[in-house]
């Protein structure tokens, strides 16, 4: 019985932190990888892949407040290519656009950097016999917050130009969409030797 109660408590905590699930929509101009929830678009000298649900790093609670997209750009051209991060946007099915969050904005949104000594709850599980026991619900100080958040900045998509024959990968962050959103369209802008490429990636929202 104690094992079942413990499992139920942990399950409820996990469900409370469940992120928005995005499902790639069919696109005749793209390759959809449903198992990865990814969409790839191939141009003559570029391949751009966007994957959702790919955040598997500290802090685990990031996706409760932030919607991360993993963007990968493969540059097969002879010139540098740049993803124009300031022109990336996310539009919901009502036509409301959202700009991306800079990594430091995502950090602040998640943690409230102004309060580094915030008290956080933690669960303790003890094994004293044949079955584990949920023995405490504690309050602790989050004194390592900066360390816990460092992957947000480290894994963000790089702002530098992508050299010829190379690739770049990183996350682009947005605020979570409104609860009534049913669809999202991610718009990317890339510059390639003076040419502008506008690419769109469509998703259905599952709650």
Neighbouring residues of 128: CB distance < 8 A, sequence distance ≥ 6: none
What class does CATH assign to 20-118+144-206? mainly beta
Whether 152 contacts 103, CB under 8 Å: yes
Which tokens hold the place of 88?
């990336």
Which run of H or E residues covers position 115?
none
Which tokens hold the place of 175?
């605020």
Query: 71-99 burial, b for 16+ CB within 10 Å, e for fewer?
Result: bbbbbebeeebbbebeebbbbbeeeeebe
Q: What is the pTM of this model?
A: 0.77
pLDDT in tens, the chain (207 residues): 444 444 434 433 444 445 689 999 999 999 999 889 999 999 999 999 999 999 999 998 899 999 999 999 999 999 999 999 999 999 999 999 999 999 999 999 887 543 344 444 444 445 555 555 554 444 444 445 566 789 999 999 999 999 999 999 999 999 999 999 999 999 999 998 778 999 999 999 987
Write down the domain spans for the chain: 20-118+144-206
């Amino acid at each position: 019985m104690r094992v079942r109660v413990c499992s139920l408590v942990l399950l409820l905590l996990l469900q409370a932190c469940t992120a928005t699930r995005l499902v790639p929509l069919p696109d005749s101009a793209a390759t959809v990888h449903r198992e990865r929830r990814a969409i790839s678009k191939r141009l003559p000298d570029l391949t751009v892949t966007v994957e959702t649900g790919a955040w598997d790093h500290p802090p685990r609670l990031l996706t409760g407040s932030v919607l991360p997209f993993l963007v990968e750009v493969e540059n097969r051209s002879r010139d540098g290519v740049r993803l124009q991060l300031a022109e990336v946007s996310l539009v919901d099915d009502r036509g409301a656009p959202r700009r991306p969050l800079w990594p430091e904005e995502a950090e602040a949104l998640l943690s409230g950097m102004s309060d580094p000594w915030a008290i956080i709850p933690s669960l303790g599980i003890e094994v004293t016999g044949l079955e584990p026991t949920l023995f405490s619900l504690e309050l602790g100080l989050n004194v390592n917050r900066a360390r816990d958040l460092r992957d947000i900045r480290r894994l963000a998509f790089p702002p530098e130009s992508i050299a010829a024959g190379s690739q770049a990968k990183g996350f682009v962050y947005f605020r979570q969409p409104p609860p009534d959103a049913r669809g999202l369209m991610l718009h990317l802008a890339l510059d390639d030797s003076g040419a502008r490429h506008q690419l769109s990636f469509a998703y259905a929202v599952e709650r």
